[in-house]
A and B are shown apart, each in its own frame.
Chain A
Amino acid sequence: QVQLVQSGAEVKKPGASVRVSCTASGFIFATYLIPWVRQAPGQGLEWMGWVTTDNRSTNYAENFRGRVTMTTDLSTNTAFMELRSLRSDDTAIYYCARQWSLNNFDPWGQGTLVTVSS
Protein backbone atom coordinates (compact mmCIF):
# COMPACT_ATOMS: atom_id res chain seq x y z
CA GLN A 1 0.00 0.00 0.00
CA VAL A 2 1.44 3.33 -1.08
CA GLN A 3 1.33 5.78 1.80
CA LEU A 4 2.99 8.74 3.43
CA VAL A 5 2.85 9.09 7.21
CA GLN A 6 3.67 12.46 8.77
CA SER A 7 4.82 13.40 12.24
CA GLY A 8 2.43 14.69 14.88
CA ALA A 9 1.07 18.12 15.66
CA GLU A 10 3.42 20.85 16.89
CA VAL A 11 2.95 24.01 18.92
CA LYS A 12 5.66 26.61 18.54
CA LYS A 13 6.33 30.15 19.71
CA PRO A 14 6.92 32.99 17.23
CA GLY A 15 10.51 33.04 16.06
CA ALA A 16 11.04 29.33 16.63
CA SER A 17 11.59 26.62 14.02
CA VAL A 18 9.60 23.49 13.24
CA ARG A 19 10.61 20.28 11.48
CA VAL A 20 7.97 18.01 10.01
CA SER A 21 8.75 14.51 8.81
CA CYS A 22 7.09 12.39 6.14
CA THR A 23 7.86 8.66 5.94
CA ALA A 24 7.06 6.78 2.75
CA SER A 25 6.21 3.14 2.20
CA GLY A 26 4.88 0.94 -0.57
CA PHE A 27 6.87 2.48 -3.42
CA ILE A 28 10.42 3.13 -4.55
CA PHE A 29 11.13 6.36 -2.69
CA ALA A 30 14.18 7.25 -4.74
CA THR A 31 12.28 7.73 -8.00
CA TYR A 32 9.98 10.61 -7.06
CA LEU A 33 9.94 14.22 -5.94
CA ILE A 34 8.48 15.11 -2.55
CA PRO A 35 6.53 18.38 -2.55
CA TRP A 36 5.19 20.21 0.50
CA VAL A 37 1.88 22.06 0.55
CA ARG A 38 0.20 23.94 3.39
CA GLN A 39 -3.32 25.07 4.22
CA ALA A 40 -3.86 27.91 6.66
CA PRO A 41 -7.17 28.06 8.55
CA GLY A 42 -9.98 28.99 6.18
CA GLN A 43 -7.58 29.28 3.27
CA GLY A 44 -6.74 27.26 0.18
CA LEU A 45 -3.75 25.10 -0.64
CA GLU A 46 -0.36 26.77 -1.01
CA TRP A 47 2.57 25.08 -2.73
CA MET A 48 5.80 25.48 -0.74
CA GLY A 49 8.30 23.64 -2.91
CA TRP A 50 9.79 20.24 -3.58
CA VAL A 51 12.92 18.20 -2.94
CA THR A 52 14.38 15.38 -4.98
CA THR A 53 14.73 12.22 -2.94
CA ASP A 54 18.49 12.14 -3.61
CA ASN A 55 18.76 15.60 -2.01
CA ARG A 56 20.53 16.96 -5.08
CA SER A 57 17.91 19.53 -5.88
CA THR A 58 15.27 21.68 -4.27
CA ASN A 59 12.88 24.28 -5.60
CA TYR A 60 11.18 26.58 -3.13
CA ALA A 61 8.27 28.92 -3.68
CA GLU A 62 9.35 32.54 -3.57
CA ASN A 63 7.28 33.18 -0.41
CA PHE A 64 9.38 30.70 1.56
CA ARG A 65 12.90 31.14 0.20
CA GLY A 66 15.36 31.79 2.99
CA ARG A 67 13.05 30.34 5.65
CA VAL A 68 12.47 26.77 4.50
CA THR A 69 14.71 23.77 4.00
CA MET A 70 13.51 20.50 2.51
CA THR A 71 15.63 17.37 2.79
CA THR A 72 15.31 13.61 2.51
CA ASP A 73 16.92 10.56 4.09
CA LEU A 74 17.03 7.67 1.64
CA SER A 75 18.06 5.22 4.37
CA THR A 76 14.70 5.67 6.10
CA ASN A 77 12.52 6.76 3.14
CA THR A 78 11.77 9.97 5.01
CA ALA A 79 11.41 13.56 3.86
CA PHE A 80 11.72 16.57 6.14
CA MET A 81 10.51 20.14 5.95
CA GLU A 82 12.00 22.72 8.31
CA LEU A 83 10.45 26.19 8.55
CA ARG A 84 12.29 28.85 10.54
CA SER A 85 11.44 32.23 12.06
CA LEU A 86 7.85 31.14 12.56
CA ARG A 87 5.07 33.74 12.61
CA SER A 88 1.46 33.44 13.64
CA ASP A 89 0.42 33.31 10.00
CA ASP A 90 2.46 30.12 9.57
CA THR A 91 -0.23 28.36 11.57
CA ALA A 92 -1.45 25.76 9.10
CA ILE A 93 -1.74 22.11 8.22
CA TYR A 94 1.37 21.03 6.36
CA TYR A 95 1.16 18.19 3.84
CA CYS A 96 3.76 16.17 2.01
CA ALA A 97 2.94 14.20 -1.11
CA ARG A 98 4.48 12.00 -3.75
CA GLN A 99 4.93 13.92 -6.98
CA TRP A 100 5.05 12.35 -10.40
CA SER A 101 5.18 14.11 -13.75
CA LEU A 102 5.15 17.91 -13.59
CA ASN A 103 2.25 18.51 -11.28
CA ASN A 104 0.61 15.33 -9.99
CA PHE A 105 0.54 14.83 -6.23
CA ASP A 106 -0.61 11.35 -5.21
CA PRO A 107 -0.91 10.20 -2.53
CA TRP A 108 -0.73 12.84 0.19
CA GLY A 109 0.30 12.47 3.79
CA GLN A 110 -2.34 12.87 6.47
CA GLY A 111 -1.17 16.39 7.31
CA THR A 112 0.59 17.90 10.31
CA LEU A 113 -0.96 20.79 12.21
CA VAL A 114 1.58 23.42 13.19
CA THR A 115 0.30 26.08 15.57
CA VAL A 116 2.35 29.21 16.15
CA SER A 117 1.28 31.04 19.26
CA SER A 118 2.86 32.96 22.10
Chain B
Amino acid sequence: QSALTQPASVSGSPGQSITISCTGTSSDIGGYDSVSWYQHHPGKAPKLMIFDVTNRPSGVSNRFSGSKSGNTASLTISGLQAEDEANYYCSSYSTSVTVVFGGGTKVTVL
Protein backbone atom coordinates (compact mmCIF):
# COMPACT_ATOMS: atom_id res chain seq x y z
CA GLN B 1 0.00 0.00 0.00
CA SER B 2 1.44 3.34 -1.13
CA ALA B 3 1.82 6.21 1.28
CA LEU B 4 0.07 8.66 -1.06
CA THR B 5 -3.32 7.88 -2.61
CA GLN B 6 -3.97 8.42 -6.31
CA PRO B 7 -6.85 7.26 -8.50
CA ALA B 8 -5.90 4.17 -10.47
CA SER B 9 -7.00 5.65 -13.77
CA VAL B 10 -8.20 8.86 -15.38
CA SER B 11 -9.28 9.31 -18.97
CA GLY B 12 -10.20 12.13 -21.29
CA SER B 13 -10.66 13.00 -24.93
CA PRO B 14 -8.11 14.96 -26.94
CA GLY B 15 -8.28 18.65 -26.08
CA GLN B 16 -10.00 18.12 -22.76
CA SER B 17 -8.54 18.82 -19.33
CA ILE B 18 -8.06 16.20 -16.66
CA THR B 19 -6.97 16.41 -13.04
CA ILE B 20 -5.17 13.76 -11.00
CA SER B 21 -5.39 13.98 -7.23
CA CYS B 22 -2.79 12.83 -4.72
CA THR B 23 -3.81 12.61 -1.08
CA GLY B 24 -1.43 12.33 1.84
CA THR B 25 -1.24 13.57 5.40
CA SER B 26 0.10 16.47 7.41
CA SER B 27 3.38 14.56 7.68
CA ASP B 28 4.02 14.76 3.97
CA ILE B 29 1.94 16.77 1.48
CA GLY B 30 0.31 18.95 4.10
CA GLY B 31 3.55 19.70 5.91
CA TYR B 32 5.88 20.65 3.08
CA ASP B 33 5.72 22.51 -0.22
CA SER B 34 7.69 19.69 -1.79
CA VAL B 35 5.38 17.75 -4.09
CA SER B 36 6.66 16.43 -7.41
CA TRP B 37 4.91 14.77 -10.34
CA TYR B 38 6.49 12.28 -12.73
CA GLN B 39 5.37 11.02 -16.12
CA HIS B 40 6.32 7.42 -16.81
CA HIS B 41 5.97 5.71 -20.14
CA PRO B 42 6.51 1.92 -19.72
CA GLY B 43 10.03 0.92 -20.60
CA LYS B 44 11.38 4.45 -20.24
CA ALA B 45 12.82 6.46 -17.38
CA PRO B 46 10.36 8.55 -15.36
CA LYS B 47 10.35 12.24 -16.23
CA LEU B 48 9.93 15.12 -13.80
CA MET B 49 6.93 17.21 -14.84
CA ILE B 50 6.24 19.39 -11.76
CA PHE B 51 8.43 20.19 -8.77
CA ASP B 52 7.82 22.03 -5.50
CA VAL B 53 4.03 21.82 -6.03
CA THR B 54 3.63 24.28 -8.91
CA ASN B 55 6.88 24.63 -10.84
CA ARG B 56 7.62 23.23 -14.30
CA PRO B 57 11.15 22.22 -15.30
CA SER B 58 12.52 23.78 -18.45
CA GLY B 59 11.13 22.01 -21.50
CA VAL B 60 7.91 20.76 -19.91
CA SER B 61 4.77 21.96 -21.67
CA ASN B 62 2.71 24.65 -19.92
CA ARG B 63 -0.27 22.33 -20.41
CA PHE B 64 0.89 20.69 -17.18
CA SER B 65 0.19 22.49 -13.92
CA GLY B 66 0.27 21.59 -10.24
CA SER B 67 -1.47 22.79 -7.12
CA LYS B 68 -2.01 21.85 -3.49
CA SER B 69 -4.71 22.32 -0.88
CA GLY B 70 -4.21 20.94 2.58
CA ASN B 71 -3.13 17.32 2.37
CA THR B 72 -4.06 16.92 -1.31
CA ALA B 73 -1.99 17.83 -4.34
CA SER B 74 -3.27 17.86 -7.92
CA LEU B 75 -1.84 17.65 -11.42
CA THR B 76 -3.87 19.13 -14.24
CA ILE B 77 -3.23 18.37 -17.88
CA SER B 78 -5.01 20.76 -20.21
CA GLY B 79 -5.45 20.33 -23.95
CA LEU B 80 -4.96 16.58 -23.58
CA GLN B 81 -2.85 15.00 -26.35
CA ALA B 82 -2.22 11.42 -27.37
CA GLU B 83 1.40 11.68 -26.21
CA ASP B 84 0.18 12.40 -22.66
CA GLU B 85 -0.99 8.82 -22.31
CA ALA B 86 1.26 7.42 -19.58
CA ASN B 87 1.42 6.62 -15.89
CA TYR B 88 1.74 9.59 -13.53
CA TYR B 89 3.17 9.44 -10.03
CA CYS B 90 3.12 12.03 -7.30
CA SER B 91 5.75 12.15 -4.60
CA SER B 92 6.30 14.19 -1.48
CA TYR B 93 9.00 14.85 1.04
CA SER B 94 8.00 13.36 4.36
CA THR B 95 9.05 13.61 7.98
CA SER B 96 12.04 11.45 8.96
CA VAL B 97 13.81 12.79 5.85
CA THR B 98 12.14 10.34 3.51
CA VAL B 99 10.31 10.46 0.22
CA VAL B 100 6.94 8.85 -0.42
CA PHE B 101 5.30 8.05 -3.76
CA GLY B 102 1.72 7.60 -4.80
CA GLY B 103 0.51 4.37 -6.34
CA GLY B 104 0.35 5.88 -9.80
CA THR B 105 -2.46 6.93 -12.15
CA LYS B 106 -2.85 5.59 -15.65
CA VAL B 107 -3.96 8.36 -17.99
CA THR B 108 -5.81 7.19 -21.08
CA VAL B 109 -6.53 9.46 -24.03
CA LEU B 110 -9.78 8.27 -25.55
Residues of A in contact with B (beta carbons under 8 Å apart): 35, 37, 44-47, 59, 61, 95, 101-111
Contacts and interface: CB of A to CB of B under 8 A. Distances in A.
A56 B36 CA distance: 26
A108 B102 contact: no
B46 A101 contact: no
B34 A101 contact: yes
A95 B101 contact: no
B103 to A, nearest CB: 5
Nearest to B50: A104
Chain A interface mostly: strand
Contacts of A44: 2, 89, 101-104
Interface in B19-45: 32, 34-36, 38, 40, 44-45
B52 A104 contact: yes
A109 B47 CA distance: 10
B92 interface: yes
Interface residues of B, number: 27
B104 A45 contact: yes
Contact of A47 (B57, B99, B104): B99
B36 A104 contact: yes
Interface in B63-110: 89, 91-93, 97-104
- Interface majority SS on B: helix, strand, loop or mixed? strand
Given A101-B51, A102-B34, A105-B38, A47 B45 contact: no
A111 B97 CA distance: 24
Contacts of B98: 47, 59, 61
B91 A103 contact: yes
Contacts of B34: 101-103
Given A102-B93, A104-B51, A106-B57, A47 B101 contact: yes
Given A102-B93, A106-B48, 18 more contacts: A44-B89, A44-B101, A44-B102, A44-B104, A46-B101, A47-B99, A95-B45, A101-B52, A103-B32, A103-B36, A103-B91, A103-B92, A104-B36, A106-B47, A106-B57, A107-B47, A109-B45, A111-B45
